[in-house]
Amino acid sequence: MNQIDFSQLAQEYGSPLYIYDGDRIVENYQRFVNQFKVPNLKVHYACKALTNPAILKLLKSLGSGVDCVSLNEVRLALECGFEPDQIMYTPNNVSEAEYEAAIELGVHVNVDNLNMLEFIAMKYPNYPLCIRFNPHIMAGGNLKISVGAIDSKFGISIHQFPLVKRMIDRLNIRVEGIHIHTGSEIADVEIYMRGAELVFSMAQEIEGLEYIDFGSGFKVPYKEGDRTTDIKKLGRVFSKRFNRFCEAYGKELTLRFEPGKYLVSDAGYFLCRVNVIKQTTACTFLGLNSGFNHLIRPMFYDAYHQVENVSNPAGDKKLYNVVGYICETDTFANDRILSEVRKNDLIVFHNAGAYCFSMASNYNLRARPAEVLIYQDQHFLIRRRERYEDLKQTFVDVAVFEQENLMPA
């Protein structure tokens, strides 16, 4: 983990600014893979968490593969040097054309509905497929990020396994893997193991598997005292059970995971400046030079991000509501105790590596921030700040409103 000089970075690159600690990502990756004692382990970084090519290349250098949920993510991964064999395409509700394009590119594809399974099996009879099942395990901290529950749109219901099995046999589908992803923020190892047992019981009945992919959803701490996934325990329990399954199956399969948040969340910082300090009868607002256009998790998921005043760490403690500049209520954090804040102080949000920049938008016609990577005591600009010109690029001018007698007489 690097000591970060926020004021120097703000001076050099401006603010708001996303900052990623590359060495922390390396630590996270290594800590993760070291927990699993199995003959074959493969991690596919879920790149929707943070899609910058520098991050993809860093993870590639560590031996990671990549999990992509859109064709553009697949294209970017290929351009970053990942081999098609290192790329898993796990989309939801995309068109046949997208699946076909992914198959043409030769990446692994993960099929998450029965119609698509049938379509691909007919059109590409020899293409190896992964099948995504929904184990209907209700898990995760927030309905918006729970993807395994009974009414979730993801995957093929495990209750339809008999039908899937019939299709596999009748259409001679080459199933190379099966997959579950029970959602984000699962703290409980027991929940993983329950999902795993369901997967093993299906895997037992499918011949020729190469791997089983248990997705992700590892919970990371956002504040002190948060429950988190005990990765050590998970590794111990999971490895033992997986090896036992492989013995019963008669083949050393590859154990796969697709962590996103676990690898990059705590490596990210979002640095803002205080534009306005407004005292009302109810509270003191800190108005930042940013809003939910840049960091939407607090507003969208009620996510807690630790906030710190890095310009005045020794100041007296005071109570603040931290808000944005968007013309809508955009509250980053309520009732936070920070070292006394002065106008123009630098405020940093922690855990800003996952689903922060990648969910940023141009709402209010505002530009998205720059991104900086710190790696082995050096820092690199890995995305320049957007400009007004960038935002206008896709507008198409029409002449019709430029006629003089547009208004009815």
Active site residues: 327
Shortest Å distance, C-beta 142 to ligand PLP: 11
The DSSP element (H or E) to which 132 belongs, if any, is strand 129-134
Distance CA(159)–CA(23), nearest Å, equals: 43
Between the CA of residue 305 and those of 145, 332, 335, what are the distances in Å? 17, 8, 13
Shortest Å distance, C-beta 180 to ligand PLP: 9
Structural tokens at position 74: 């697949």
Residue nearest to ligand PLP (CB): 260
Nearer residue to ligand PLP within complex by CB, 261 or 294: 261
**Contacting residues toward ligand PLP, per CB under 6 A:** 46, 48-49, 67, 69, 90, 181, 184, 215-218, 258-262, 354
The DSSP string of 239-286 is HHHHHHHHHHHTS-PEEEE--SHHHHGGGEEEEEEEEEEEE-SS-EEE
Shortest Å distance, C-beta 216 to ligand PLP: 3
Nearer residue to ligand PLP within complex by CB, 99 or 262: 262
Shortest Å distance, C-beta 389 to ligand PLP: 32
Nearer residue to ligand PLP within complex by CB, 72 or 334: 72
Rg (CA), the chain: 24
Please name which of 244, 32, 215, 230 lies closest in space to residue 135, comparing C-alpha atoms: 215
Nearer residue to ligand PLP within complex by CB, 16 or 259: 259
Which backbone phi and psi does 173 adopt, to 5 degrees?
A: -75, 135
Burial status of residue 355 (CB atoms within 10 A of its CB: 0-12, 13-18, 19 or more)? buried
Structural tokens at position 226: 């948060």
Structural tokens at position 402: 């430029």
Shortest Å distance, C-beta 387 to ligand PLP: 30
Nearer residue to ligand PLP within complex by CB, 146 or 311: 146
Structural tokens at position 120: 């691909």
